[in-house]
A and B are shown apart, each in its own frame.
Chain A
Amino acid sequence: MTTTVSTDPEPGPAAVVRRGRRLRDHTTALGAIGGVIVLVLVTVAVLAPVLAPYDPAERAGTPFSSPSPDHLLGTNDVGQDLLSEMIYGTRVSLTVGIVAAAAAMLIGTVVGLIGGYFPRLGAVAMRGVDVVLILPFLPLLIVLAAYLGRSIVNTVIIIAILIWAPTARVIRAQVLSLANRDYIVAARSMGAGHGYVLWRHVLPKTMLLAIGEFVAATSGAILLESSLSFLGLGDPLQESWGSTLYWAQARGAFLTPAWKWWVLPPGLLIMFSALGFALLGYALEQRINPRLRRS
Chain B
Amino acid sequence: MNARRLGLARLGQYAIVLVVAVSLNFALPRLMPGSPLALIAGVEVGEMSPEERAAVTADAGLDQPLVVQYLTYWKSILTLDFGYSFRQGTPIEELVLERVPWTLLLTLTALVVSAVVGIALGAFAAWRRGGAWDVSSLTVMIALESTPQFWLGMLFIALFSVSLGWLPSFGATTAGADLTGLAWLADVAEHAVLPVLTLSILSIPAVYLSMRYSTLSVLGEDYIRTAQAKGLRPRAVMLHHVVRTALLPVTTVLALRLGWAFGGTVVIETVFSYPGLGRLMYDAVSARDYPVMQATFLVFTVAVLLANLLADSLYPRLDPRTRV
Known: A9-B217, A230-B148. A131 touches B21 (CB 8 A): yes
**CB closest residue in chain B, given A246:** B150
Query: B276 — which chain A residues lie within 8 A by C-beta?
Result: none
B17 near A139 (CB under 8 angstroms)? Answer: no
B142 near A16 (CB under 8 angstroms)? Answer: no
In the bound complex, CA of A18 to CA of B148 (Å): 37
Q: Mark A10-49, 1 if CB is under 8 A from B, else 0.
A: 0110111011001101100110010000000000000000
Query: A26 — which chain B residues lie within 8 A by C-beta?
Result: 130, 134-135, 138
In the bound complex, CA of A254 to CA of B134 (Å): 34
In the bound complex, CA of A11 to CA of B322 (Å): 13
Query: A231 — which chain B residues lie within 8 A by C-beta?
Result: 150, 267
A134 near B16 (CB under 8 angstroms)? Answer: no
Query: A249 — which chain B residues lie within 8 A by C-beta?
Result: 154
A295 near B158 (CB under 8 angstroms)? Answer: no
In the bound complex, CA of A182 to CA of B272 (Å): 56
A293 near B209 (CB under 8 angstroms)? Answer: yes
CB distance from B29 to the nearest CB of A (A): 7
**Interface members, chain A 63-81 (any B CB < 8 Å):** none
| Chain A CB within 8 A of B235 CB | no
In the bound complex, CA of A142 to CA of B281 (Å): 13
B24 near A135 (CB under 8 angstroms)? Answer: yes
| Chain B CB within 8 A of A140 CB | yes
B249 near A8 (CB under 8 angstroms)? Answer: yes
| Chain A CB within 8 A of B226 CB | no
Q: Mark A175-186, 1 if CB is under 8 A from B, else 0.
A: 000000000000
CB distance from B319 to the nearest CB of A (A): 7
Query: A295 — which chain B residues lie within 8 A by C-beta?
Result: 210, 252-253, 256
Q: Mark A108-123, 1 if CB is under 8 A from B, else 0.
A: 0000000000000001
CB distance from A37 to the nearest CB of B (A): 11
Q: Mark B199-218, 1 if CB is under 8 A from A, else 0.
A: 00000000001100100110
**CB closest residue in chain B, given A136:** B297
Which candidate, B54-62, B173-181, B298-306, is the interface stretch facing chain A? B298-306
| Chain B CB within 8 A of A189 CB | no
| Chain B CB within 8 A of A284 CB | no
Query: B135 — which chain A residues lie within 8 A by C-beta?
Result: 26, 29-30
| Chain B CB within 8 A of A200 CB | no
B138 near A30 (CB under 8 angstroms)? Answer: yes
A140 near B220 (CB under 8 angstroms)? Answer: no
CB-contact partner of B157 in A138, A147, A254, A291, under 8 A: A254
| Chain A CB within 8 A of B151 CB | yes
Query: B129 — which chain A residues lie within 8 A by C-beta?
Result: 22-23
Known: A1-B308, A9-B319. A227 touches B21 (CB 8 A): no
Query: B14 — which chain A residues lie within 8 A by C-beta?
Result: 1
In the bound complex, CA of A30 to CA of B125 (Å): 15
Q: In the complex, which of the residues A4, A23, A219, A274 has the most CB atoms of chain B within 10 Å of its own CB atom? A: A4
A136 near B301 (CB under 8 angstroms)? Answer: yes
**CB closest residue in chain A, given B9:** A123
In the bound complex, CA of A231 to CA of B266 (Å): 11
B21 near A135 (CB under 8 angstroms)? Answer: yes
In the bound complex, CA of A278 to CA of B139 (Å): 10
B322 near A7 (CB under 8 angstroms)? Answer: yes
Query: A87 — which chain B residues lie within 8 A by C-beta?
Result: none
A19 near B220 (CB under 8 angstroms)? Answer: yes
Query: A275 — which chain B residues lie within 8 A by C-beta?
Result: 139, 142-143, 146
In the bound complex, CA of A226 to CA of B154 (Å): 14
Query: B142 — which chain A residues lie within 8 A by C-beta?
Result: 275, 278-279, 282
In the bound complex, CA of A182 to CA of B125 (Å): 38
| Chain A CB within 8 A of B193 CB | no
CB distance from A227 to the nearest CB of B (A): 6
B148 near A271 (CB under 8 angstroms)? Answer: yes
B301 near A143 (CB under 8 angstroms)? Answer: no
A279 near B139 (CB under 8 angstroms)? Answer: yes
A139 near B210 (CB under 8 angstroms)? Answer: no
Query: B285 — which chain A residues lie within 8 A by C-beta?
Result: 138-139, 142
In the bound complex, CA of A262 to CA of B248 (Å): 44
A230 near B16 (CB under 8 angstroms)? Answer: no
In the bound complex, CA of A147 to CA of B33 (Å): 8
B315 near A3 (CB under 8 angstroms)? Answer: yes
Query: A274 — which chain B residues lie within 8 A by C-beta?
Result: 145-147
A127 near B210 (CB under 8 angstroms)? Answer: no
In the bound complex, CA of A231 to CA of B267 (Å): 9
| Chain B CB within 8 A of A53 CB | no
Query: A255 — which chain B residues lie within 8 A by C-beta?
Result: 158, 162
CB distance from A283 to the nearest CB of B (A): 11
In the bound complex, CA of A172 to CA of B297 (Å): 28
A11 near B20 (CB under 8 angstroms)? Answer: no
In the bound complex, CA of A70 to CA of B6 (Å): 69
B305 near A134 (CB under 8 angstroms)? Answer: yes
CB-contact partner of A143 in B17, B32, B267, under 8 A: B32
In the bound complex, CA of A19 to CA of B147 (Å): 30
| Chain B CB within 8 A of A263 CB | yes
Q: Mark B101-141, 1 if CB is under 8 A from A, else 0.
A: 00000000000000000000000000001100011001100
**CB closest residue in chain B, given A124:** B16
In the bound complex, CA of A139 to CA of B28 (Å): 7
In the bound complex, CA of A275 to CA of B144 (Å): 8
B24 near A146 (CB under 8 angstroms)? Answer: no
Starting from the known contacts A1-B13, A223-B146, A274-B146, 15 additional A-B residue pairs (CB-CB under 8 Å) come to A2-B311, A4-B311, A7-B322, A12-B222, A15-B222, A16-B220, A127-B13, A131-B21, A135-B297, A140-B28, A142-B32, A219-B146, A226-B148, A242-B148, A267-B147
Q: Kindly list the 5 A-B residue pairs having the minimum CB-CB distance in the complex, ordered from nearest.
A: A15-B220, A274-B146, A267-B151, A2-B311, A134-B304
